[in-house]
Amino acid sequence: MTCKAYTCHNSTNYSWNDYCSYHERCLSKFREKESVSDSDIRKLETFETWFSELCGYVISAKGSNYVINFAFFEPKCRSMGEKLTTYNRTGEIYWLSDAESKATEIKWKLKGDNPILAFYDNSYHSISSYILVSPEVVKQELPNSGIGLNIPFTLFIGARFYLGNPDSYLKPLDIVKVEKTERVGNSLFSWTTKTYYHVCIYLGNDKVFHMWHPTWVSKMDAQIGSWSDFMSNATGPIYRYHTPVPFKHYKKVIEHIAKADWADLWYGKYDLWNRNCEHLANVCKYGINWSEQIEEASSFVSWWMKSQGGLKRAFNGESFLNENYVNNGMSSSIILKNEIERSTGRIEKVLRDKTSAERRETREDLEWRYRVEIPNKSDCKVM
Ligand SMILES: [Zn+2]
């Protein structure tokens, strides 16, 4: 008997099996997440994309409809366990031939430069409750080691957090957020703390891409830095944000990181509301020029504005010019395709902000260097 999986020419192990041993294994993994019986399966196909060798879909009958479930498998890699992510965002389909052509269309889009768009049409979706959440973006708290207490003269903040072996827990181009706490106010008896998340794109080999300056916010810009800089003064948990299906081709992400670094992007223009570290990571990695922390803070601010009758300073003393202009004027719902195009167009037009800067390397040199620095992914192809 020949395996029933689409275009598979392997033989089945036993005459009563429908699938070869490879596709049997695929299906048993699939059933750990989705319940489907053999008799309901109408089509199974496995295929490769540039980001994974282990992609597939299952079309199954469900009542009078057909359901397409796409699946992406990531094998165990260093300290990251194996992971199967499934997507079912295709709506109700009444004909098998429609299901088959829809699945084929999605398969080809997944091989393109913006694989995630395979699952999005041209309608509005909420960023924080639909696009940047599971299964699109998988959030995971990383283990950490407290490295002693940070007790300056007048201030108790708490245990410092650190993760010393990031390559064991992160894949290149994952976004990482770490909680930091800073003291606000100078007097011994009147101070408060503000807690926020510092955000980077992890590059591999202990290198990160982030908005950074060791001491002055006004001197921050987009740059490549070290993992220890990124983690400095961390006071809370570390989170990994991983995309089983990438938003942008990794070569584009690296090109945009190189461009931002070369241009000293946003030097002297740091703006908590529109150009913070999270905007930078999100625009390079996802193509979405938006910050979750600002989305959450701005709902608080609008309430506060009403009670204060006009607001000049908010968010623990940071000032901003236009109270209403936050998150680059974006609504909380977007058409994903349009936003990726818009933000990509903007970052590709970036010129050097810091014209006095002397750089020996060209942008192309940097791009090449970052591509080389990202470790070989033969053991974990998914970004
Ligand atoms: Zn097979």
How far is the centre of ligand 1, averaged over its atoms, from the C-alpha of 99 (Å)?
A: 21
Average pLDDT of span 56-65: 94
Specify whether 247 is located in the same domain as 364: yes
Specify whether 185 is located in the same domain as 237: yes
Angstrom distance (rounded) from CA 217 to CA 320: 14
How far is the centre of ligand 1, averaged over its atoms, from the C-alpha of 92 (Å)?
A: 28
Angstrom distance (rounded) from CA 20 to CA 37: 17
Residue 322 pLDDT exceeds 80: no
Element (H, E) at 336: helix 336-348
pTM of the predicted protein model: 0.88
How far is the centre of ligand 1, averaged over its atoms, from the C-alpha of 55 (Å)?
A: 14
∠ CA 266-280-125, nearest 5°, is 135
Which CATH number do you get for residue 223? 3.90.1720.10
More confident residue, 152 or 276: 276
pLDDT-derived band of residue 313, with 50, 70 and 90 as boundaries?
A: very low
pLDDT of residue 308: 40
In a domain, 116, yes or no: no
Sequence letter at residue 121: D
Q: How far is CA 339 from the centre of its chain?
A: 15
Angstrom distance (rounded) from CA 272 to CA 298: 11
pLDDT of residue 364: 84
What is the total count of domains within the chain? 2
Digit-coded pLDDT (tens) for 234-268? 888 899 999 999 999 998 999 999 999 988 888 88
DSSP state of 311: -
Specify whether 71 is located in the same domain as 178: no
How far is the centre of ligand 1, averaged over its atoms, from the C-alpha of 231 (Å)?
A: 46
Digit-coded pLDDT (tens) for 190-204? 556 667 899 999 998
Find out whether 266 and 280 touch, Cβ atoms under 8 Å: yes
Structural domain boundaries enclosing 294: 138-373
Element (H, E) at 27: helix 21-33
In a domain, 382, yes or no: no
**Residue 377: closest CA among 245, 135, 166, 203:** 203
How far is the centre of ligand 1, averaged over its atoms, from the C-alpha of 205 (Å)?
A: 38
In a domain, 3, yes or no: no
Range of weakest confidence among 123-127, 309-313, 338-342: 309-313
How far is the centre of ligand 1, averaged over its atoms, from the C-alpha of 3 (Å)?
A: 5
Specify whether 172 is located in the same domain as 273: yes
∠ CA 5-11-14, nearest 5°, is 105
In a domain, 202, yes or no: yes
How far is the centre of ligand 1, averaged over its atoms, from the C-alpha of 6 (Å)?
A: 8
How far is the centre of ligand 1, averaged over its atoms, from the C-alpha of 45 (Å)?
A: 9
Find out whether 176 and 202 touch, Cβ atoms under 8 Å: yes
How far is the centre of ligand 1, averaged over its atoms, from the C-alpha of 7 (Å)?
A: 8
Find out whether 229 and 214 touch, Cβ atoms under 8 Å: yes
Specify whether 194 is located in the same domain as 92: no
How far is the centre of ligand 1, averaged over its atoms, from the C-alpha of 84 (Å)?
A: 19
How far is the centre of ligand 1, averaged over its atoms, from the C-alpha of 75 (Å)?
A: 19
Q: How long, in residues, is the chain?
A: 383
Looking up tokens 């395996």 gives 3
How far is the centre of ligand 1, averaged over its atoms, from the C-alpha of 120 (Å)?
A: 30
How far is the centre of ligand 1, averaged over its atoms, from the C-alpha of 382 (Å)?
A: 23
How far is the centre of ligand 1, averaged over its atoms, from the C-alpha of 111 (Å)?
A: 21
Specify whether 232 is located in the same domain as 345: yes
In a domain, 175, yes or no: yes
In a domain, 149, yes or no: yes
Which tokens is 138 given?
């998988």
Residue 357 pLDDT exceeds 90: no
In a domain, 32, yes or no: yes
Angstrom distance (rounded) from CA 127 to CA 159: 33
How far is the centre of ligand 1, averaged over its atoms, from the C-alpha of 247 (Å)?
A: 29
Specify whether 146 is located in the same domain as 93: no
Specify whether 257 is located in the same domain as 305: yes
Which tokens is 189 given?
């008896």
Specify whether 107 is located in the same domain as 144: no
How far is the centre of ligand 1, averaged over its atoms, from the C-alpha of 22 (Å)?
A: 6
Range of weakest confidence among 79-88, 166-175, 316-325: 316-325
Q: How far is CA 160 from the centre of its chain?
A: 25
Specify whether 146 is located in the same domain as 95: no
How far is the centre of ligand 1, averaged over its atoms, from the C-alpha of 96 (Å)?
A: 21
Angstrom distance (rounded) from CA 343 to CA 355: 23
How far is the centre of ligand 1, averaged over its atoms, from the C-alpha of 78 (Å)?
A: 28
How far is the centre of ligand 1, averaged over its atoms, from the C-alpha of 43 (Å)?
A: 12
Average pLDDT of span 269-292: 91
How far is the centre of ligand 1, averaged over its atoms, from the C-alpha of 244 (Å)?
A: 24
Average pLDDT of span 18-42: 94
SS3 at position 72 = strand
Specify whether 34 is located in the same domain as 145: no
Q: 295-319 burial by CB neighbour count: b if 16+ within 10 A, else e?
A: bebbeebeeeeeeeeebeebbeebe
How far is the centre of ligand 1, averaged over its atoms, from the C-alpha of 9 (Å)?
A: 7
In a domain, 186, yes or no: yes
pLDDT > 70: percent of the chain: 80
What DSSP line would sit under 116-174, residue for residue? Answer: GGGG--SS-EEIIIIISSTTTSEEEEEP-EEEEEE--TT---EEEEE-S-HHHH--TT-
- At a CB cut-off of 8 Å and minimum separation 6, what does 178 contact? 161, 197, 198, 230, 231, 234, 236, 237, 238, 239
How far is the centre of ligand 1, averaged over its atoms, from the C-alpha of 260 (Å)?
A: 45
Specify whether 101 is located in the same domain as 161: no
Which tokens is 69 given?
């479930």
